[in-house]
Amino acid sequence: MSFFYTNLFSGFITLIQPTILLLQVLNILMQPIRNIAIIAHVDHGKTTLVDRIIQECKVFDERKEVGELILDSNDLERERGITIISKNVSVNYKGVKINIIDTPGHADFGGEVERVLKMADGVLLLVDAFEGPMPQTRFVLGKAINLGLKPIVVVNKVDKENCRPDEVQQDIFELMFNLDASDEQLDFETVFGSSKYGWMSKDWKKPASDITFLLDTIIEQIPAPLYIEGTAQMQVASLDYSSYVGRIAIGRVFRGEIVTGNDYTLCKKDGEVRKVRVKELFVFEGLGRVKTTSVRCGDLCAVIGLEDFEIGDTIADLLSPEALKRIEVDEPTMSMIFTINNSPLFGKEGKFVTSRHLRTRLYRETEKNLALKVEETGSEDAFSVYGRGILHLSILIETMRREGYEFQVGKPRVLFKEINGVKSEPYETLSIDVPSEQSGKAIELVTMRKGEMTVIEPKGDLIHLEFDIPARGLIGLRNNMLTATSGEAVMHHRFRSYDKYKGDDLMPVQNGSLISLEQGMATGYAIDRLQDRGRFYIDPGEYVYKGQVIGEGTRPKDIEVNVVKGKKLTNMRASGSDESYKIAPKLRYSLEESMEQIKDDEYLEVTPLNLRIRKIPGQPRI
């Protein structure tokens, strides 16, 4: 009898399983959705705000301990405190599914912002209550307004001393007006609060206990995506990789529905089309993904089963495919040469050292990094890599060296264009916040590089300066600025446009290099006696090779020095000649600073353990 009931029960479960699955799918399809991107200047609190939303919507089990900066999963992001790669998370609040996209705040990663804004229906514009709209605020806001997205302004960090929330709100309105925002966009809702302390409210003088006011505002103000009937259309805006299933396409369904197991047309650039099958579909839930059988218009999803796709491709109907307009990204403004390491110490510290390894890795990066371009050169060992700026390229270099790659890079160079027969170069808007007593030094340094001051105004106890400066003038400026202002200057810059070339005499004359004459172990004796020639990049006991740049000279010309020479030993001792060495600490440069130090006839040798500058063999010395 028990066997009979067991079989009956299992048969009943088998019968209702499709019904349960259908109800789950209907629930997903019928659930209201809001797609929103969080945009802001670097370090204005985007990722911290996402943390608070995740905690408020109880995405995690309350018994688990959750750290800060949940979405900054990349080691480089946690170390630098900036977002480099855009990520999305989905939360449920009052029965509404909110897809939140966290975007980078630095102008060099603008390609990330441009490709994900198309997935959103509205934006949270986050602005620091003290700093107000910054150069990158203007950049990301301009992109959002051009796409017709509805903004909600969040004035963050109102707990700061000397904050000025009401003035900042007015500044944002003026900025939107100058960016030709529509009347509907200018009628934006403003939310005040502190992501750090986890509260948001309508009045910054009346702190709340949580951020529910912000979530309610998102549901009320951000429009739900319209359901557009018709054949399927989905645009690939991002990609992921799994060692089990391969490449995963991530994007938004703009029309119709995408269904598992169906065949579709993949519309690529230049009009190329190919037949593909969707093997698996996932929607975002919390920080993870949930498998589903279909995704409706307006939702974000991850598709498994596509091959040879690129960001910007469209998944369309099999019989009557219609491609969406491809994602447009601003052109690169800077280039560097990447080549194999051929120094005397090659292959001793890295795992991937050949040109085949370098080529494969660089072209793989272009698949997901839209703002990056790679071109072949006359040599099979060297590649021209084009990016948005020093930081954009340095993040790629740092990522590669952590993966075990060993290679060399040349001096960063800005890209020139000919516009209407006039030689043009990229210009940047540079903003500097500096104490008033140091402002003169800051202005002098920038004007020496042909920067033109456009704004000077007080901001609390600081002076806010803005300049229009050729991008060439920014190379090496940060280090000199921090030295001149005792480390008190805060600099930000963003690309403005191409404009008339400012001439060859823009950069100040650099001091020459100290070059090693011999190969071997550097001695304290030799370094001690050469300290009047300049500052060294090495300590006694470090191994050097011939042609390695081991220091910065005090004169404009390069000097070859022998730091391997040891003291002649005798049986005689004398107090005058046996005094102890007094060697100054070596100069330590970060990767970005090292890139700015390279001269035209030098390479930066990048290995997992070291950064070394060397003269390019066979080139005439400067």
Q: Tell me, what CATH number does 289's domain have?
A: 2.40.30.10
CB 479 within 8 A of CB 519: no
Q: Is the dihedral of CA 524, 527, 531, 534 positive or negative?
A: negative
pLDDT at 24 over 50: no
* Distance separating alpha carbons of residues 176 and 141, to the nearest angstrom: 8
Q: Is the dihedral of CA 164, 170, 172, 178 positive or negative?
A: negative
pLDDT reported for residue 574: 56
pLDDT at 254 over 70: yes
* Distance separating alpha carbons of residues 435 and 484, to the nearest angstrom: 12
Q: Model confidence over 495-550: pLDDT tens digits?
A: 888 888 888 777 667 788 899 998 999 888 888 888 888 888 988 888 999 989 98
Residue with tokens 């001690």: 528
Q: Tell me, what CATH number does 535's domain have?
A: 2.40.50.250
Q: How big is the chain by its Cα radius of gyration, in Å?
A: 29
Residues 6+ apart with CB under 8 A from 609: 349
* Distance separating alpha carbons of residues 52 and 214, to the nearest angstrom: 11
Residue 205: inside a domain: yes
Element (H, E) at 513: strand 513-516
10 Å Cβ neighbour count for 301?
Answer: 21
* Distance separating alpha carbons of residues 312 and 251, to the nearest angstrom: 9
Residue 39: inside a domain: yes
Q: Of 142, 176, 134, 140, which Cα lies nearest the Cα of 430?
A: 134
10 Å Cβ neighbour count for 351?
Answer: 11
Residue 350: inside a domain: no
Q: How far is CA 604 from the centre of its chain?
A: 22
Residue 5: inside a domain: no
pLDDT at 478 over 90: no
For the chain, how many structural domains are there in total?
4
* Distance separating alpha carbons of residues 395 and 384, to the nearest angstrom: 16
Q: Of 357, 363, 355, which Cα lies nearest the Cα of 380?
A: 355
> Which residue among 267, 295, 316 closes a domain?
316
Whether residue 135 sits in one domain with residue 39: yes
Query: What's the mean per-residue pLDDT of the chain?
Result: 81
CB 61 within 8 A of CB 286: no
* Predicted TM-score of the model (pTM): 0.77
Residue type for position 54: I
Burial of 114 (0-12, 13-18, 19+ CB in 10 A): buried
pLDDT at 76 over 80: no
More confident residue, 85 or 323: 323
* Distance separating alpha carbons of residues 286 and 56, to the nearest angstrom: 12
Whether residue 187 sits in one domain with residue 70: yes
Owning domain of residue 489: 417-500
pLDDT at 410 over 60: yes
Whether residue 202 sits in one domain with residue 114: yes
Q: Tell me, what CATH number does 183's domain have?
A: 3.40.50.300
Q: Tell me, what CATH number does 492's domain have?
A: 3.30.70.240
Q: Where are the beta strands (DSSP E) in 129-243?
A: 150-156, 189-194, 199-201, 233-242
CB 116 within 8 A of CB 154: no
> Which residue among 316, 338, 363 closes a domain?
316
More confident residue, 330 or 189: 189
Residue 217: inside a domain: yes
Whether residue 240 sits in one domain with residue 216: no
Q: Can you read off the two tokens belonging to residue 7?
A: 């079989």
The vertex-191 CA angle with 186 and 194, nearest 5°, equals: 140
Whether residue 276 sits in one domain with residue 155: no
Alpha carbon of 418 to those of 329, 498, 507: distances in Å?
A: 20, 10, 21
Give the range among 100-114, 117-131, 211-225, 264-278 with minimum mean pLDDT.
100-114
Whether residue 196 sits in one domain with residue 50: yes
Whether residue 555 sits in one domain with residue 423: no
CB 50 within 8 A of CB 32: no
Q: How confident is the model at residue 66 (pLDDT cuts 50, 70, 90)?
A: very low
Residue 55: inside a domain: yes
Task: Kindly state the average pLDDT of the residues 46-71.
Answer: 65
Task: Kindly state the average pLDDT of the residues 611-618.
Answer: 86
Whether residue 178 sits in one domain with residue 259: no
Q: Model confidence over 331-357: pLDDT tens digits?
A: 788 899 999 998 888 888 889 989 999
Residue with tokens 């645009």: 235
Whether residue 145 sits in one domain with residue 118: yes
Q: Can you read off the two tokens belonging to residue 545?
A: 């090779």
Whether residue 74 sits in one domain with residue 211: yes
> Which residue among 316, 334, 358 closes a domain?
316
Alpha carbon of 569 to those of 3, 33, 525, 531, 564: distances in Å?
A: 98, 81, 12, 22, 15
Residue 170: inside a domain: yes
pLDDT reported for residue 23: 42
Residues 6+ apart with CB under 8 A from 300: 35, 88, 90, 99, 119, 250, 251, 252, 253, 283, 284
More confident residue, 121 or 479: 121
pLDDT reported for residue 20: 44
Whether residue 307 sits in one domain with residue 195: no
Q: Can you read off the two tokens belonging to residue 559?
A: 């000097």
Q: How confident is the model at residue 457 (pLDDT cuts 50, 70, 90)?
A: confident
Residue 138: inside a domain: yes
Whether residue 117 sits in one domain with residue 92: yes
* Distance separating alpha carbons of residues 190 and 249, to the nearest angstrom: 35
CB 260 within 8 A of CB 293: yes
